[in-house]
Every structure is written in C-alpha cells, then in structure tokens.
Structure 1
Amino acid sequence: MKLQKLTGVWIPLVSIFFGLLAGAIIMLLFGYNPVAGYIALWNGAFEEPYYTGETIRLITPYILSGLAVAFAFRTGLLNIGVEGQVLVGWLASVWIGLAFNLPMIIHLPLAIIAAIIAGGLWGFIPGYLKAKFHVHEVIITIMMNYVALYSVNAIIRNVLTDGSERTEHVAETASLKVEWLTQLMPNSNVHAGIILAVGAALFYWYFIEKTKYGFELKAVGYNSYASEYAGMSVKRNIMVSMAISGGFAGLAGAMEGIGNFGYMTLNNGFTNIGFDGIAIALLGGNTAVGVVMAAGLFGVLKNGALNMPLSAGVPHELVDIITALIIFFVAASYMIILFREKLTNIFNNVKTKLQKGRGK
C-alpha cells in the first residue's frame, strides 16, 4: 500500500520534471533560451498581483473540472462530458443571477446550487442510460457535449436575450467577486470561487475516502459483479456517481458565470475547461490533493505562457507542447510500471515452478 501511494506521488512529479526538461531541449533546438523562457513563464504567473490573481482565476475551474473527471474515474466510469456539464452549470448560474432580485445571502447560494443541480442532472442522464440500457458512457457523454453547446446557445439567444449574443451582467448579489480579493490583486478577475473549489476538493476526499457511500462507489468501480453479490445496487451507484461528477462540473461552470465573467455569451466552440479536466485528473492520480496540484500547474502554465513571447521571445504554443509531454510521461510511466509488474509476475511464476521441480 505504501509503495502504491509513493508511486502515485512520484509519477506526476517525475513526469513534470521530464516534461519541463523536454521543453527546455525543444527551446534550445529552436534557438531559444530555456532559462529565460521559464523565468518569463514564472513571472507571467506570479510577478505582479494582477498576474497572480489571473492565475488563481484560471486554477479555480480547473480544480473543479479535474475533480469531476477524477470522481467518475474512481468509480469506474469515464465522464468525457464534463465540458457540456460546465456549460449547463454556467448557464444555470447566470440565469438565476439575472432572474431574481434577492439578498446576497440567498441569491448567491441559490445561483451556486442551481449550477450544481444543472450539471448533476446533465451527468445523471448518461448515468441513467448506462445503468438501465448499458449505453457506453463515453459515447453518450461526448454526444451530450454538443447537445449542451447548441442548446445553451439557443437559450441565450431566444430566452435570456432578444437575439443578442450575450446576456446582461448578473446582479451583484449573485456575484462571487469580493472587495478584499480585488484589493489584494487589483484589476484581475480573481474571485471567491477559489474557496469553493478547495472546499469541493476537501468534500471529494472525505466522501471518497471516509464515508460508506464513497466505499460503495469505489467498490462498484473496482468490480461491479462482486459489489452486486455483496448487496450493493450497481445501477443506483452508477447514476449517483455520474450525477455527483456532473455536480462538480456544474460548479466549475458557475465559477465562470458568476465569478470570472459575470455573464454568458454565445459559444462558437467549447471552453476546454472540461477537456483539460481529463488531463488534470490523470496528472493528479485522481486524488483530491493531486487534482489541486495539477490544476495549479495547468493554471501557471496557461497564464505564464502569455508572458513568454513578450519577455523571452518564446512562442506560447510551446507551453502546449510541454503540457502534452507531461501527460505523455505520466501515461508512459504507468505503462512502464504495468509492464514491470507483469514481468515480475512471470518471473515469480517461473521461479515457483522451478522450485517445485527441484522438490520432486
């Protein structure tokens, strides 16, 4: 068990190191200074309070989308529909922020809860189809991303506005912007959603690791047949798992709707928050701490990359290459470990047979 825990910690760290090293080599090959490039990346993420605020703003939805994917992974499911769940959560939070005139103590929690419910319902649909009709969740969640995208656009244009491409700003009573954070990091779009994101990570850890329901969900993911034999409801747990996963994603959408932007606009394409969540969950080993750290890395890379062309002349697309290399090394590390375990098992089996042969 200790070895497994150490493996889960060291694989991402080693992968990050090799990803950054490979990025440095690529910079050298193309005639750029890697030291200047990485210093520019760091400064672009943290040099000034504004940059720090923007980095935190990016990290916030990444934590939640990573948790959404990781929760489904831990329960044996592949939720590729986080992107669509983010969009419906975003829409629900903005809708509540526009439709009601309430005190903040009621209005803000109501907008947040609406986003969680909307994302949860959008996740429940593929969970229901998986449980009742054995429809593969990967296929249905991918399809529902497009349903969400075009449905949200239609609602913005025909329901929330009179044909406009974006909604009005939500009421201040439904906004996550707080004065003390704005003063700490002036001119940035940082908001109090980071507190909710960290709280969601704590909830994820406690629910998965410390509760009976979390144990049931993990058991169904490990072996649905054994779980059913033990008296657990496999179908119910599949639906609950996808709904909770969607709830995390819906909350990520609220971070954008009532936090970062304060409105919603027509989307010509996906936000990529949900798709990046897949990489974040993989890099974080599907653990709460790992997801938070991986989301932090992604936020630093994405925001810091904007400064690399300005300060070091390095194209910011290089950061996408570095990110892809980090994920590649994570996957490669797991494959190497799996290969090593299989070789060890083969060696042990051969050794056992030889010992038995000598005994005869």
Structure 2
Amino acid sequence: MNETANAGAPQQKDHGVLYLGIDLGTSRTSVAASNGVRETLASHVAYPKDVVARKLLKKEVLFGEEALEHRLSCNFYSPLASGHIKWGDGNGAGNAEAEANIKATADLVREICRRARPRKDELLYAVVGVPAQASIRNKEAIINAARETLDSVMLCSEPFAVAYGLDWLDDVLVIDIGAGTTDLCRMHGTMPEEADQVTLAAAGNSVDQVLADLIRKKYPEAQFSMQMVKKFKERYSSVLDTMEPAVVEMPVNGKPTKFDITKEVRDACRSIVPPIVEGLGRLIATFDPEFQHKLRNRVLLAGGGSMIDGLDTEIEKFMAEKLGGGTVLRIEEPLYGGSNGALKIAHDMPDDFWEKLK
C-alpha cells in the first residue's frame, strides 16, 4: 500500500551528495564528478522539427555531435556565445530566441549532469565555471537554468577554477582560451576582483573567422562552411614554422578539390597572440611593481585553445618582445582543467554554505 501511495511522490534525496564541477563552454561542456566520472560533450542541443524528424531520430532532444550531425532535421541551438546565454535581438527574458536558448542551456546542464551518473537518492551540488567578466544578467540566467537540475549551485570564473584546481593561487597569471572568449586572471593569494580579470574576444571562434577570411581570399572558388573551417583548425592548428602541411578537401562547383591552407592555418592561430600578450601586459603593469617579475614568470595556459601546437612558446616569444620576458606553462588536461578546479572548489565549500544556496 505504501509503495502505491508514494509511487508518484518525488524521489527522496537523503543518501549523500554528489559534487560536480561543470565547465559550461561555448564550444564544449565538461563535468568532473566526485564519483570519479568525467565527461565532455559539444555544447549543441537540437529538437526534431516535426513528426517526420521525430520518427527518423526517435528522440525528443539531441545533444553534442549527434545534434550537430542532424541539425538540418531539427531546431538547432548552440545556446552559448562568448560563454554567455545568447539573448538574440531582444533584451533577454521574454524574447523568443532568448527563451529558446535558456531552455537549451537548461537541457544541456541536465544532460551533462545525467552523464555524471548520479544515484537517484543523491543531492547534486555543483560549481559552474563562467567567463571572468560575465554580466550579472547572464549569471542569473545560468543559475536559473542550472537549478532545474541541481539542488544547489554556485558560479566561479573559469580561469580562477583552473588555478584553484592546480593550487596555483599566488602570483600567477592564467590564460584560459575557450571558443567564445579568452579569459585572463591575475591570482595573488585572494579571490580575484574585477580589476584582476580581463575577457578578450580573441579566442577559438575568432581564429575560425580569420581562417575563413584567409581561405576565401586565397581560394575564392572554394565552397565551405564554418563547421568545415572549425574542423580544419582542430585537425591542423599550429603556430610553428615547421608545422604539418594542412591539405584539405573543399568542393568547387560540386567537385571535391584539394587545397593547401598551411600558411592560412598558422596565420589564423597566431592572430590571438598579440591581444593575449597585450592583456597580460595590462594585468602586470597594474600590479605591485615588487612582484611583477613573479607574474611574468608564472603564466598558466589552459582551455581548449591551449592545444594549438607551439602556442606556449609563441606567447613567450611575444612576451619577450613586448614585456621583457616571461615563462608560460601549458596545463596537462586542457579539456578538464576548468571542471577539475570547479569540483575541487565544490569539495572545499562547507556544508552550511551549500544549504544557504538552495
């Protein structure tokens, strides 16, 4: 009788807590969980357009690469731009495009949490990484979207999460290169303030755009999409003079044709270096002069963009020219650096802190 009476009641969560560190990115969303699970997926969400699409796909919602593959049969969303929820042409909530992206973000969070494999009786406490200078409106929107799945949630800046995860908390500069933004953060033994953080548009998507423009200029007859350009970049990305030849296939009037885009890939990848070093220079120049040399020689390179071959040494070369020197260290796990750090923050927060956030 009791089982029947309680069949429709909500699941009681009284058997512990699963802590999650979530890196909610423009291109990829990653999670690291206290049960040891780590997952990443492309930040794409798709909903079948009609009954034919639902019959074909046999799903109500698709995520990641599967959503991208079937985007022509679906209402397709990459709901995050520059690490923020897309607001469309309106002023946020109430705008149809904004509401659709907020829903897609909530579904994306639900899916990445599902992939962390929580037990049904576990509370979900999560720290979510966001861009260093995310607006208050976007932070509120992300929290509201996350609360549909999570029992308690807090936000932190992505570069801070990277540094915290590695215990690099004093006299260090963090470069976190994502798809939508590059976040710079100055750590000096305390929580970073607004003056300690810089957000740049020079990031993965800007490299894609530069590469597309260069290809279009050199090979005007070639036909390509931005998704193709992104794949070219991810396959061959390098700033080295002796990089692997980047020979790709693009159609010309429907005929597959090979093109050498080696120089274009290298030049596009190098395009983000000057603004990054300029941003580092601003953070160094406004720091205590007695400790500026420490910052220059403790630069941590993170994020998906850090996987560009030779980028650490290229930044060092530019720092030597513009700032008088510097040492750059690339983190070992660029895809999980933010989520690993966010998980560590979640673990270190006291229980009463999480209770207050519910």
Range class of TM-score, shorter chain: under 0.3
Name the one with the larger helix percent.
Answer: 1
Greater strand share, 1 or 2? Answer: 2
Question: Of the two structures, which has the highest relative contact order with CA contacts closer than 8 Å and spacing of 6 or more?
Answer: 1
**What TM-score do you get using the length of structure 1 for normalisation?**
0.27
